[in-house]
Amino acid sequence: MKKQFLICSLVISSLAYSQVGINTSVPTNTLDVNGTARVRTVNQGVGTAEIYPLYVDNTGVVVKSSTSPTNGGIRSNTVNVASGGTGTLLGSISNGVYKALIVTGNGCALSASAEFLINISSFNNYYGLNGQGGFVTLDTNNRPTFTQTVATAIGVTWSGVPGCADGSNATSFNYTLTMPAAATINVVNNSNVARNYTITLTRVN
């Protein structure tokens, strides 16, 4: 029986710390791969923990989405909220400026997405949110109406949404987004049935 052996050529440079080169004798980073790379298993983000998109710069070095350790960080979560109930989308949010995308759908394959700006400052505990836009997949011109009376709460209503076999009616996608505290985003379900709400929060500053 013939045995097959996988031979890997590694070159380790004697610098202040070790540098490993694959297919290169002059590595310039901790791990320097001169060729393609493959990762067979990548773990998903855990719960609502912040994650960061990865990119490569013009020399092929892997970098985060921003030079800042926080800008570009993404958190997401999904909650199921009963009709008339309140659910916490995210908590423990750090100071900063964020974009939030809220998505909900019904049993008839319709989906409503709306975008918000959220600003949290530790100075005098200032914080708030503001609706930016969105649409229902039924018609891209079917945009939400934002009703805001205070900086920390905004009602979102949708017109022209048909009833569905899941029991929902024209109020199907209506909700209120609130911030009961600087580090928390809640959603109040204003529809006539239970709904899932998914938030994707991306830090921009």
User: Do 93 and 164 fall into the same domain?
Assistant: yes
CATH number of the structural domain spanning residue 135: 2.60.40.1680
How confident is the prediction for the chain on average, in pLDDT?
86
Same structural domain for residues 88 and 13?
A: no
User: Which of the residue ranges 51-60, 98-107, 170-179 would you say has the lowest mean pLDDT?
Assistant: 51-60
Per the domain annotation, does 3 fall within a domain?
no
Task: Convert 29-52 to b/e letters by CB count within 10 Å (16 or more is b).
Answer: eeebeeeeeeeeeeeeeeebebeb
| Residue 50 CB partners (closer than 8 Å, separation 6+) | 73, 74, 75
Residues 26 and 94 in one domain: no
10 Å Cβ neighbour count for 9? 9
Domain hosting residue 179, numbered range: 74-203
Answer yes or no: do 106 and 190 share one domain: yes
Query: How deeply is 119 buried, as exposed, middle or buried, from its count of CB atoms within 10 A (0-12, 13-18, 19+)?
Result: middle
Residue 203 has pLDDT above 80, yes or no: yes
> Does 174 fall in a domain?
yes
What is the number of domains present in the chain? 2
What per-residue confidence (pLDDT) applies to 173? 97
Q: What is the pLDDT of residues 85-133, one digit of tens each?
A: 999 999 999 999 999 999 999 999 999 999 999 999 877 789 999 999 9
90 and 27 share one domain: no
- The answer, as to whether pTM is greater than 0.85, is no
Say yes or no: 84 and 16 in one domain: no
Residues 93, 160, single domain; the answer is yes
